Each structure stands twice: as structure tokens, then as C-alpha cells.
């Protein structure tokens, strides 16, 4: 039987509606408008597209968007000075420094200079530590989006076997922490994993975040499993450029119980969760109740 398609585009639209409704209430009842500052260094075309989309959606849900575009040769002191200014600006509740940064800048140093309470990417070492110890953290947007879709599909995830393929700091590791937090039995697999097929076939929940086009095929999927495809890969096929995930959709969807497509699965959830995190940060900064269903 063909798997149920988990529609991330529709889900993200619902998340944005929830955020917009909460933002409208904050404005009316507390005179508070959440603000998100996005910092882009250089002219990387893909980053420019992301930053443009973030700014547009931030304004659409009623929040303030502050864009800071710096030239590719910006030095570290200038960037750190801007972040310091944003850290101390009460109108800014979320700060995002678009990655990758140009090679002469130390990404870890830059990210760790952001006030952790404003770190809406959840990349600061404090937030990584808080998440790993089950404390209230800012949670990375892409894994948070995956968690929301899994909770929506399954209700409780307790006791399920989850396999995360990929060990990046941005997706694989925080995804594993979130699944552990929801009482899954979690395995992190990667390029050196022995018999990846057997490991993946043990998964009730299979999250693919390896960055290799269509690597996870149907024979690696347990019948009825839920497959979350985080990959976004551009490939050439039949003379055309095509967007594919880390999962071979055709073969995997014939075996899985539910699956996210690419495009239209995890992708749209990332910015929706960034908006949710900005709202959460604004609520926490002002001692107000956090939005329900939009945090880990
Ligand atoms: N570049 C690509 N994705 C992301 C993201 O989620 N956050 C940041 N800061 N940069 C990115």
C-alpha cells in the first residue's frame, strides 16, 4: 500500500497561522511585537533566497524583521560588534546569523557570541547543553519541525525505535535528543555505520539527514514505518535539474506507512519553526506564557 504523505507545506501554514494569532494577542494585550534580526555576510545566492524568505514570512505573521547585510570581507570584530548591539536591543527577540559564513570568520565563535535567549537557531553551546540535559532550550528549527510532524502523526512517540541517519550538529544530533526526550529508543547512524540497511530496517521512525541524494531506498525501510526526509539535493536527471531528498521516494513510499515528500515536506517547516522560536523567545523575555504546541 502507498504510504500516507505528510504534507509539510500545509502543516507549516497551520504553524504560521498559530504564530500569527499569538502575535496578534501579544500586540493587543501586552503591546509587544516580537522582532527577528537576520544577519547575512556575503552574497551567497542560496543564502540570499533563504534570508529573503525569512524576512517576508516574519512580516506576514505580524512580527518585526530586521535584516543586516554585510559585505563578504567583513571582519570578525565588526560582526561581533553588530551581534553585541542586537543582544542589547530590547526590540530584538531573535538573532539568526545565516550560515555558512565566509571562510575567514569563525562560525563557532560568532554563534556563541549570540545571547542564548535570543539564539532562535538553537546553535549556541548553552542551548545544545540545555537540550541534551532535558532543560528548557531554544531548539534547532529543522529538527523541531520534524518532531512536530511526528507528534501530529503518531500522538505519543514513547517506546518507538527511531533511527536518525546523519550526525550533524544542525539536524542529526539535536533530532536524536528530541526523540530521546519523547522517550524513543534512538540510534544515530552515519557513513561509517555497519550494515546500515539492517539498522534502518529496525526503525519505526526513520529520519534521513545525510545530504546524499536518494540514499535511503525502500529495502532499508521497515514496512509501515514513518520516514522523515530532511535532505534537499539538486540533481541532474533527464537533462533537467530536479530537487530530491535523501530518500528514494518511489521505492520508500511503497513500503513506509507515512513519508514526507521533497519538496513540500520538512523544508517549509524550518522557517515556520524559526517564527515559532522567535515568538517563544519574545514570550520568555517578557515573562509571558509560551505558545502551546510550538515548542519541544
Ligand atoms: N543555513 C542553512 N540553513 C540554516 C539555518 O537553519 N540556520 C542558519 N543560521 N543558517 C542556515
- Which residues are registered as beta bridge partners of 69? 40
Residue 105 near residue 41, CB atoms below 8 Å: yes
Choose one of 42, 49, 119, 121 to mutate for the ligand 1 pocket test, by most ligand atoms within 8 angstroms of C-beta: 121
- Here the CATH number for the domain that contains residue 263 is 3.40.50.720
Looking up cell 526590540 gives 91
- Per-residue pLDDT averaged across 63-87, rounded? 98
Position 225 scores a pLDDT of 98
pLDDT in tens, 168-191: 999 999 999 999 999 999 999 998
Query: Which atom of ligand 1 is the closest one to the Cα of 142?
Result: 6
pLDDT in tens, 14-31: 999 999 999 999 999 999
Choose one of 38, 41, 50 to mutate for the ligand 1 pocket test, by most ligand atoms within 8 angstroms of C-beta: 50
Active site residues: 54, 98, 121
Nearest CA to ligand 1 atom 11: 99
Residue 141 near residue 270, CB atoms below 8 Å: yes
Residue 281 near residue 251, CB atoms below 8 Å: no
Nearest CA to ligand 1 atom 3: 99
- Here the CATH number for the domain that contains residue 80 is 3.40.50.10860
- Per-residue pLDDT averaged across 121-137, rounded? 97
Q: 41 C-alpha vs ligand 1 centroid, how far in Å?
A: 12
Position 227 scores a pLDDT of 99
Final residue before a domain boundary, out of 86, 118, 150: 118
Q: Where are the beta strands (DSSP E) in the chain?
A: 4-5, 35-41, 64-70, 94-97, 161-165, 185-189, 205-208, 226-229, 233-237, 240-244, 258-259
- Per-residue pLDDT averaged across 44-68, rounded? 97
Spatial distance between the Cα atoms of 190 and 188, rounded to a whole number of angstroms: 7
Range of the domain at 78: 30-118
C-alpha distances (whole Å) from 46 to each of 13, 49, 53, 73, 243 are 22, 5, 11, 18, 14
Query: Which atom of ligand 1 is the closest one to the Cα of 274?
Result: 6
| Residue 205 and residue 111 share a domain | no
Grid coordinates representing 266?
A: 520538512
- The helix (run of H) or strand (run of E) holding residue 272 is helix 267-285
Nearest CA to ligand 1 atom 9: 98
| Residue 98 and residue 182 share a domain | no
63 is a domain residue: yes
| Residue 107 and residue 147 share a domain | no
Average pLDDT of the residues of the chain: 98
Q: 135 C-alpha vs ligand 1 centroid, how far in Å?
A: 23
Split into its structural domains, the chain has a count of 2
C-alpha distances (whole Å) from 85 to each of 56, 92, 102, 113 are 23, 10, 21, 11
CB-count exposure of residue 161 (10 Å: 0-12, 13-18, 19+): middle
Q: Which residues form the pocket of ligand 1, taking CB atoms under 6 Å from any ligand atom?
A: 96-99, 121, 141, 270
- Per-residue pLDDT averaged across 264-284, rounded? 98
Query: Which atom of ligand 1 is the closest one to the Cα of 141?
Result: 6
| Residue 98 and residue 185 share a domain | no
pLDDT in tens, 222-241: 999 999 999 999 999 999 99
Nearest CA to ligand 1 atom 8: 98
- The helix (run of H) or strand (run of E) holding residue 178 is helix 172-181
Spatial distance between the Cα atoms of 99 and 109, rounded to a whole number of angstroms: 13
Residue 97 near residue 114, CB atoms below 8 Å: yes
12 is a domain residue: no
Query: Which atom of ligand 1 is the closest one to the Cα of 47?
Result: 1
Q: DSSP labels for 202-218?
A: T-SEEEE-S--TT-B-G
Q: 55 C-alpha vs ligand 1 centroid, how far in Å?
A: 14
Spatial distance between the Cα atoms of 182 and 177, rounded to a whole number of angstroms: 9
| Residue 86 and residue 37 share a domain | yes
Q: 99 C-alpha vs ligand 1 centroid, how far in Å?
A: 5
Confidence band of 278 (pLDDT split at 50, 70, 90): very high
Nearest CA to ligand 1 atom 1: 99
How many C-beta atoms lie closer than 10 Å to residue 53's C-beta? 13
Q: 98 C-alpha vs ligand 1 centroid, how far in Å?
A: 5
Choose one of 39, 47, 99 to mutate for the ligand 1 pocket test, by most ligand atoms within 8 angstroms of C-beta: 99
User: DSSP code of 112?
Assistant: T
Q: 152 C-alpha vs ligand 1 centroid, how far in Å?
A: 24
| Residue 170 and residue 263 share a domain | yes
On the question of pLDDT at 1 being above 90, the answer is no
Position 156 scores a pLDDT of 98
Proportion of the chain in helix, strand, coil states, percent, rounded to 5: 40, 20, 40
Residue 175 near residue 217, CB atoms below 8 Å: no
pLDDT in tens, 134-174: 999 999 999 999 999 999 999 999 999 999 999 999 999 99
* Predicted TM-score of the model (pTM): 0.97
Q: 1 C-alpha vs ligand 1 centroid, how far in Å?
A: 36
| Residue 261 and residue 148 share a domain | yes
86: phi > 0 → left, psi -120 to 50 → alpha, else beta; which?
Answer: alpha
Amino acid at each position: 500500500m502507498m504510504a500516507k504523505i505528510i504534507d509539510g507545506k500545509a502543516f507549516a501554514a497551520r504553524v504560521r497561522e498559530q504564530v500569527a494569532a499569538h502575535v496578534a494577542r501579544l500586540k493587543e494585550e501586552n503591546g509587544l511585537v516580537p522582532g527577528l534580526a537576520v544577519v547575512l555576510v556575503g552574497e551567497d545566492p542560496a543564502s540570499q533566497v533563504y534570508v529573503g524568505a525569512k524576512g517576508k514570512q516574519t512580516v506576514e505573521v505580524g512580527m518585526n524583521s530586521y535584516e543586516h547585510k554585510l559585505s563578504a570581507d567583513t571582519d570578525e570584530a565588526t560582526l561581533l560588534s553588530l551581534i553585541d548591539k542586537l543582544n542589547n536591543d530590547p526590540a530584538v527577540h531573535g538573532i539568526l546569523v545565516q550560515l555558512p559564513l565566509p571562510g575567514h570568520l569563525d562560525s563557532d565563535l560568532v554563534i556563541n557570541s549570540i545571547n542564548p535567549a535570543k539564539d532562535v537557531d538553537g546553535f549556541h553551546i548553552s542551548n545544545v547543553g540545555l537540550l541534551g540535559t532535558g532543560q528548557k532550550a531554544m531548539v534547532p528549527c529543522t529538527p523541531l519541525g520534524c518532531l512536530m510532524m511526528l507528534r501530529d502523526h503518531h500522538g505519543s512517540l514513547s517506546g518507538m525505535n527511531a533511527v536518525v541517519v546523519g550526525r550533524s550538529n544542525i539536524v542529526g544530533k539535536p533530532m536524536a535528543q528530541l526523540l530521546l526526550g519523547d522517550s524513543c529508543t534512538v540510534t544515530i547512524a552515519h557513513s561509517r555505520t555497519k550494515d546500515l540497511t539492517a539498522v534502518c530496517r529496525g526503525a519505526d521512525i526513520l529520519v534521513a539527514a545525510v545530504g546524499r541524494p536518494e540514499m535511503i531506498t525502500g529495502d532499508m525501510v521497515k514496512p509501515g514505518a514513518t520516514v522523515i526526509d530532511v535532505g534537499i539535493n539538486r540533481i541532474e536527471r533527464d537533462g533537467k535539474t530536479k530537487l530530491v531528498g535523501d530518500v528514494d521516494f518511489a521505492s520508500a513510499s511503497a513500503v513506509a506507512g507515512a513519508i514526507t515528500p521533497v519538496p513540500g515536506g520538512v523544508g517549509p517547516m524550518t522557517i515556520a519553526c524559526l517564527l515559532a522560536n522567535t515568538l517563544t523567545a519574545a514570550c520568555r523575555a517578557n515573562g509571558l506564557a509560551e505558545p502551546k504546541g510550538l515548542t519541544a
